Structure 1
Amino acid sequence: MILSPTATEYHLGVLKAKLAKYRSQLLEPTGKKGEKGEGFDVMKSGDARVALIGFPSVGKSTLLSTLTNTESVAANYEFTTLTCIPGVIEYKGANIQLLDLPGIIEGASQGKGRGRQVIAVARTADLVLMMSCTGYCRGAHGRLGPDDVVYRLLPWRIYFKQKKMGGLKFNATLPLTKMDERMVQMILHEYKIFNAEVIFREDCGADELIDVISGNRVYMNCLYVYNKVDQISIEEIDRIAHQPNCIVVSCNMKLNLDYLLERLWESLAMLRIYTKKPGSPPDFGDPIIMRGGSTVEHVCHAIHRSIVAVFKYALVWGTSTKFNPQRVGLHHVAHDEDVIQIVTKK
């Protein structure tokens, strides 16, 4: 069932598409210098990368210094951090790279406050920690808009593929209340797209469809970290802490940082895989760090790429199996703290 939008909603959808298109044209650099996406020169390292984004003076540098062995200058004045400072969080056998980025302000997408560089680096991260502090006065910084921080909690829920012919093929896997085929067609026409396949897997609106068509939005995991909770009431702490994907901490008093690390680990969907040689106990001292959804084949590649060519089967102990040990193939999906023994062809 698809509920048709009103005439006003059709009009608003088309206007949003026009605004998004014109805004992209205005913000697109015209010269050879200052191209968008030119980030700080920070080499990616470790098992995952996490970017700290937030207003100036919310405690990003203090958090980096507390969670890692890296000292980032923290002071009682704004814009203390003027470049990207990397640190490494050692947690559960994994090395997680944490990036302390300069404070972001309104107009960052146009380059204010080195905003383009901040966004370019954050796009390369596996997770964004959006950091603020309770009762923070935004003052002259204004507020962040959707073009200043391009990270949203929603994953991709719209399939879009432009084609050379065939017109519009539109479908939805659930009832839609904000969109229908006519509105999709009107928005696509604003981008001079007349042949495409569009499938809605969530009840999304015009904004989400425009993001997909524009291709200039990065959908990624995000956690909202509220600092300085020692300065507010317990009732306010409770209210913030129960918001989705929100974590309350105090960097100066080191409150709730253990929980922050645990949520960080869960959001990154990291796995610890232990290996075992025939006739020997598992090596619990040096886990192989993988990402969620990894298979036995991925584990083989992590050990050595030549193993897959001589792979026969694997014995697995852990929560991914029905019994221990279980004989599995390359496509078996591993779970956290599984023990894997690779058996090769003779």
Structure 2
Amino acid sequence: MTTVEKIKAIEDEMAKTQKNKATSFHLGQLKAKLAKLRRELISDSTSAGGGGGAGFDVARTGVATVGFVGFPSVGKSTLLSKLTGTHSEAAAYEFTTLTTVPGVIKYKGAKIQMLDLPGIIEGAKDGRGRGRQVIAVARSVNLLFLVLDVNKPLHHKQIIEHELEGVGVRINKQPPNIVIQKKERGGVNITTTVPLTHLDNDEIRAVMGEYKINSANIAFRCDATVDDLIDTIESKNRRYIPAVYVLNKIDSFSVQELELLYKIPDAIPISSANGWNLDDLLELMWKKLNLVRVYTKPKGKLPDFEEPVVLRNDRCTVEDFCNSIHKSLVSDFKSAFVYGTSVKHSPQVVGLSHELEDEDVITILKK
């Protein structure tokens, strides 16, 4: 049997197995086996060329990358053209885009790359169409635009989420707060800080046994599910990516219907053809990317507000700022003056470990 056939067999068995106390061990085992097979598919798609081969590997530019994922003919190519000025073939028939089409937008001083990916279809995670190549690129971006046609059933949203979940992409989620420490002997010891209402000891034993982890300390600091436990074990193969649901073609909707669309979490209704509401889309993009702009102020001169140094929020200390300009700045560093919200008074003398915030101004003093 091929890997895809093995996956199908396990999914069929899980579908016909009723969940109860007597079957929890078996279902936990099946879920762990399924996750391991899914990992094989991910490895196959990435080892076949990283981003999926010819037409999919794109040189990365800018401080962040946004990937457009959606069904064929939902308006991804038109949206890329409107936002970046890049021409991406657009037509009223399916599968117009057959390769990754890159574009760059400069927003709030930051250069952000945008990738228009070919239309995804159901079964993409199992290799249907060019699904594995599309998903391999989608796994590597900093933000996903999940582009949906609001005139079609919103179960398309569920299908895309299911396809991405199947290859280890977790949308708008944080890693589960579970700590596993392997040890040489002593069996599996479980501690919890909150009651586990979705997971029992049989499932935990089944999962740990399937991964041949016979001795470990497991600390559950959240009300975890069996999927959360597997995600923790498979953490190297999981990608936690923020996403925006781009609800396109709202020009055919009434005002009352638009008000309902705004209530969908992480969603922005737009019309790519008419260029409607793109400002709100970009604003949400900026919020989701969590970027930090730092302006430089040479000693004795005015700050440069035209070209900020843009850092990711998980790397925005003064040391990160110095390294982004030139590594020699760290070895020559004496101190820094910082103006802005990250300090109690402006200016304030800080060291390399000081964490910068958006729109701070900095002056570096060398030894």
Q: TM-score, normalised by structure 1?
A: 0.88
Secondary structure at the counterpart of residue 112 of structure 1: coil
Structure 1's 70 and 334: CA in aligned 2 closer, same or farther, altered over 3 A?
Answer: same
Structure 1 residue 202: Cα displacement: 2.7
Distance 2:286 2:155 in 1: 34
Does structure 1 residue 85 correspond to structure 2 residue 91? no
Long gaps (5+) in structure 2: 1-19
- Correspondent of 1:172 among 192, 197, 202: 192
Query: Contact 1:158/1:209 (CA < 8 Å) preserved in 2?
Result: no
Structure 1 residue 35: Cα displacement: 7.3
Distance 1:149 1:66 in 2: 31
Does structure 1 residue 188 correspond to structure 2 residue 201? no
Structure 1's 148 and 24: CA in aligned 2 closer, same or farther, altered over 3 A?
Answer: closer
Does structure 1 residue 234 correspond to structure 2 residue 248? no
- Identity, in percent, stands at 48
Structure 1's 246 and 173: CA in aligned 2 closer, same or farther, altered over 3 A?
Answer: farther
- Correspondent of 1:98 among 75, 97, 114: 114
Distance 1:98 1:115 in 2: 19
Q: How does 1:90-239 map to 2 (within 5 A)?
A: 90-136=106-152, 143-144=159-160, 145=162, 146-147=165-166, 150-161=169-180, 163=182, 165-166=184-185, 167-215=187-235, 216-239=237-260
Query: Contact 1:68/1:89 (CA < 8 Å) preserved in 2?
Result: yes
Query: Contact 1:241/1:247 (CA < 8 Å) preserved in 2?
Result: yes
Structure 1's 233 and 12: CA in aligned 2 closer, same or farther, altered over 3 A?
Answer: farther
Query: Contact 1:162/1:193 (CA < 8 Å) preserved in 2?
Result: no
Structure 1 residue 181: Cα displacement: 4.4
Secondary structure at the counterpart of residue 208 of structure 1: helix
- 1:273-328 CA-to-partner distances (Å, cap 9, x unmatched) read 01112211111121111111410111111222111112121111101111111111
Long gaps (5+) in structure 1: none
Tell me which amino acid in the other structure corresponds to 2:74.
V
Distance 1:313 1:220 in 2: 35
- Correspondent of 2:268 among 222, 247, 253: 247
- 1:239-278 CA-to-partner distances (Å, cap 9, x unmatched) read 2221221111111121111011011111111111011122
Query: Contact 1:119/1:149 (CA < 8 Å) preserved in 2?
Result: no
Q: Which has the higher helix share?
A: 2
Distance 1:156 1:310 in 2: 37
Structure 1 residue 138: Cα displacement: 8.7
Distance 1:19 1:323 in 2: 55
Distance 1:311 1:241 in 2: 48
Does structure 1 residue 279 correspond to structure 2 residue 293? no
Distance 1:237 1:6 in 2: 45
- Matched with 2:6 is none
Structure 1 residue 213: Cα displacement: 2.6
Structure 1's 309 and 21: CA in aligned 2 closer, same or farther, altered over 3 A?
Answer: closer
Structure 1's 158 and 327: CA in aligned 2 closer, same or farther, altered over 3 A?
Answer: same
- Matched with 2:9 is none
Does structure 1 residue 13 correspond to structure 2 residue 28? yes
Query: Contact 1:28/1:36 (CA < 8 Å) preserved in 2?
Result: no
Query: Contact 1:178/1:204 (CA < 8 Å) preserved in 2?
Result: yes
- Matched with 1:339 is 361
Q: Which moved more, 1:273-282 or 1:72-81?
A: 273-282
Q: How does 1:56-75 map to 2 (within 5 A)?
A: 56-75=72-91
- Matched with 2:13 is none
Distance 1:77 1:22 in 2: 35
Query: Contact 1:29/1:35 (CA < 8 Å) preserved in 2?
Result: no
Structure 1's 87 and 305: CA in aligned 2 closer, same or farther, altered over 3 A?
Answer: same
Tell me which amino acid in the other structure corresponds to 1:38.
G
Tell me which amino acid in the other structure corresponds to 1:16.
K
Structure 1's 133 and 149: CA in aligned 2 closer, same or farther, altered over 3 A?
Answer: farther
Distance 1:75 1:243 in 2: 28
Q: Number of aligned residue pairs: give it.
A: 340
Structure 1 residue 113: Cα displacement: 1.7
Q: Which moved more, 1:297-306 or 1:155-164?
A: 155-164
Distance 1:128 1:90 in 2: 18
Query: Contact 2:117/2:134 (CA < 8 Å) preserved in 1?
Result: yes
Does structure 1 residue 320 correspond to structure 2 residue 342? yes
Q: Which moved more, 1:201-210 or 1:317-326?
A: 201-210
Q: TM-score, normalised by structure 2?
A: 0.84
Distance 1:69 1:304 in 2: 32
Distance 2:150 2:168 in 1: 20
Query: Contact 1:151/1:222 (CA < 8 Å) preserved in 2?
Result: no
- Correspondent of 2:52 among 18, 35, 38: 38
